[in-house]
């Protein structure tokens, strides 16, 4: 028996009848609740074992797609060993074999210098606004404002980042929940998701991909999927979205994952598998 909204349950039922399935999710706000201290985030205990069980099934591929670095995802998210990991909004990618294949591996000297300048500028802004902090990444840096108690200061800090290093030539800006993420690589979660499905053998229009996200940055992933063709897009929480389905919180994400696992357990064991 499923407690999911009927339209979502029907979409997941159709998804799991396909020979190849890609289960892709954001981390913060999806697998893990949003917490004040980023290093304290962890995949919910209800979700972690289900992800591992899904990844162990033939024809099922699991991917985490996040603004976090790959190191963060490996340390905090407890991903299955075979999971594909997408970090830094697509600039870092580790495939199912653990090989780093993303754009971050090919930065030239000019790009590395721009990363250093961008980081320095954000650290200078952060020093002016106590409660903010900077997350340094291989391809850029991000200014986080979640911990600021005074909302006017959070807005001012974000504006300084947007109007300062965010406006520099060669810097790509991504605005998320309480974060200004700056990168020297022009990628996003949608581009990364398309690359993942191509590598698996699920061309656009073939269905078979479920993506669950909560942030503005996840809209890029929703936009490259096609619910009418059999993909499933799920927004976690409130806010305007291009996703067809909506659930409340990370605990509801666990319900979705459990339902997918349950449905996959009822389909025929003989399938065409492309690795």
The segment(s) of the chain belonging to CATH 3.30.70 are 108-183
Q: How far apart are the first and last CA of the chain?
A: 32
- Mean pLDDT for the chain overall: 91
With a cut of 90, say whether residue 185 has pLDDT above it. no
Q: What is the pLDDT of residues 28-64, one digit of tens each?
A: 999 999 988 888 999 999 999 999 999 999 999 999 9
Q: What is the pLDDT of residues 82-92, one digit of tens each?
A: 999 999 988 88
How are beta strands 179-183 and 172-176 bridged, if at all? antiparallel
Arithmetic mean of pLDDT, 133-148:
91
Instruction: Specify the CATH class of 6-104+187-264 in words.
Output: alpha beta
Count other C-beta atoms under 10 Å from residue 109's C-beta. 7
- pTM of this structure: 0.86
Out of 1.10.3470, 3.30.1490, 3.30.2390, 3.30.70, the CATH code matching 108-183 is 3.30.70
DSSP secondary structure of 210-263: EEEE-SGGGHHHHHT--GGGT-EEEEESSS--S-SEEE-SHHHHHHHHHHHHHH
Q: Are 12 and 266 in contact (CB under 8 A)?
A: no
Arithmetic mean of pLDDT, 109-132:
95
CA 217 to chain centre: 8
The active-site residue out of 9, 14, 26, 255 is 26
The segment(s) of the chain belonging to CATH 3.40.50.1000 are 6-104+187-264
With a cut of 50, say whether residue 271 has pLDDT above it. no
Q: How many helices (H) and strands (E) does the chain have?
A: 8, 11
Give 9 or 265, the one with higher predicted confidence: 9
How are beta strands 179-183 and 140-144 bridged, if at all? antiparallel
Q: What is the pLDDT of residues 6-36, one digit of tens each?
A: 999 999 999 999 999 999 999 999 999 998 8
φ/ψ (deg, to 5) at 263: -65, -40
The confidence score (pLDDT) of residue 1 equals: 53
The confidence score (pLDDT) of residue 150 equals: 83
Rounded to whole angstroms, the Cα distance separating 122 from 108 reads 21
Q: Is residue 26 annotated as part of the catalytic site, yes or no?
A: yes
């Amino acid at each position: 028996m499923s407690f999911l909204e009927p339209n979502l349950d029907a979409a997941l039922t159709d998804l799991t009848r396909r020979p190849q399935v890609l289960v892709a999710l954001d981390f913060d706000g999806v697998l893990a609740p949003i917490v004040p201290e980023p290093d304290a985030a962890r995949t919910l205990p209800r979700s972690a074992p289900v992800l591992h069980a899904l990844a162990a099934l033939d024809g099922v591929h699991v991917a985490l797609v996040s603004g976090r670095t790959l190191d963060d995802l490996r340390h905090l998210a407890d991903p299955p060993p075979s999971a594909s990991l997408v970090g830094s909004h697509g600039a870092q990618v580790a495939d199912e074999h653990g090989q780093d294949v993303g754009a971050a591996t090919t930065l030239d000297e000019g790009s590395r210098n721009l990363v250093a300048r961008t980081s320095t500028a954000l650290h200078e802004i952060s020093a002016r606004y106590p409660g903010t902090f900077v997350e340094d990444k291989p391809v850029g840096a991000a200014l986080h404002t979640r911990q600021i108690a005074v909302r006017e200061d959070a807005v001012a800090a974000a504006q300084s980042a947007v109007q300062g290093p965010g406006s520099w030539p060669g810097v790509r800006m991504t605005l998320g929940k309480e974060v200004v993420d700056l990168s020297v690589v022009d990628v996003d979660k949608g581009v990364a998701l398309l690359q993942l499905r191509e590598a698996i053998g699920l061309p656009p229009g073939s269905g078979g991909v479920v993506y669950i996200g909560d942030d503005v940055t996840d809209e890029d992933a929703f936009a490259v999927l096609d619910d009418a063709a059999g993909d499933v897009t799920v927004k976690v929480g409130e806010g305007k979205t291009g996703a067809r389905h909506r659930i409340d919180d990370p605990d509801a994400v666990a319900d979705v994952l459990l339902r997918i696992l349950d449905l996959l357990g009822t389909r025929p064991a003989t399938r065409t598998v492309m690795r």
